Each structure stands twice: as C-alpha cells, then as structure tokens.
Amino acid sequence: MATTTAQLIVTSTDLLSDSLSLSAISTLTNGGGTTGITQTTGLGRTKSEATSLYILYDQSALGVPAASAHKVYIKNMSTNAAQFVTITINAEELGRLYGGDWCFFPWSAHDSSNDISITPSVSSALVIEHMLFFES
C-alpha cells in the first residue's frame, strides 16, 4: 500500500495578539477507505507565455475515475509577487495564486466539464509547478 502524507504548518508572531502555530497532517487515501492513493501524474512544470486559459488537468484525457478522492497541488513559481494565475474548475473561479503562492485541494472529476484550468496574468514566461494524486 502506498503511503503519501500531506502536511501544512502555519506560524505567525504578529497576526494575532498571541503567537499562532497550527499544524495539520493527513495521509492521502482512496475515497471511503484506508487504502493509500497509488497514482500520480508526477511533479510537473508548465511554462505559459500567454494570458489565455490553459487546461492543466483534463478529466476525460486523464481517464481518472469520477467523484473520487483526488488531490491537486499547484504552485506559482514566479518570484514577482504581482504575477498571478487564476485557477478555475468548470468555469468557476477558485482563486488566484500570486508569485510564490501554492495550494492543495481535493478535486472531484465527476464529468468532462470539471477540468482544472489556469489563466496567467502576464504574457511573459510564467512557470506553474503541479501534481495530481488520484485513485486508479
């Protein structure tokens, strides 16, 4: 059984009146079970040089099962804090990742229109690091 663990640590000394320290850890498993997620696209980097919409993960092309426990990691590798990518799923804006920002979220690939897309804010070279963990 594959064991993949995701961890998030948030710390701050000046966000609240007291110091903040949060830690969350999770073992990635198939939906409704204890079997570890065994499939991944591998860590990839996509370089965009246009401000048009780009499909990052196409459910029908990947052939991943619908409505399963998929997880997605995306990071904007830009060092310019003003450069961002807008992430959309099925034409709904999920949010923006500015230079250096990253996200990790569940994805239900329930139909062919539930693709994950990005739209860069600049037409110069912008690199996005990404990885999909999915059930087989």
Mean pLDDT of 106-135: 89
How does pLDDT run across 40-91, given as a tens digit for each residue? Answer: 889 999 999 999 998 998 877 776 666 678 899 999 999 999 999 999 998 8
What's the confidence (pLDDT) of residue 72? 94
pLDDT at residue 109, as a whole number: 74
> Residue 110's pLDDT is what?
73
Ordered DSSP codes for 84-106: EEEEEETTEEEEEEETT-EEEEE
pTM over 0.85: yes
User: Which residues have C-beta within 8 Å of that of residue 17, sequence separation ≥ 6?
Assistant: none
Q: Is the pLDDT of residue 94 over 90?
A: yes
Query: What are 123's two structure tokens?
Result: 């037409």
Q: Which domains does the chain have, with CATH numbers?
A: 39-134 (2.60.120.10)
Q: Which has the higher per-residue pLDDT, 3 or 8? A: 8
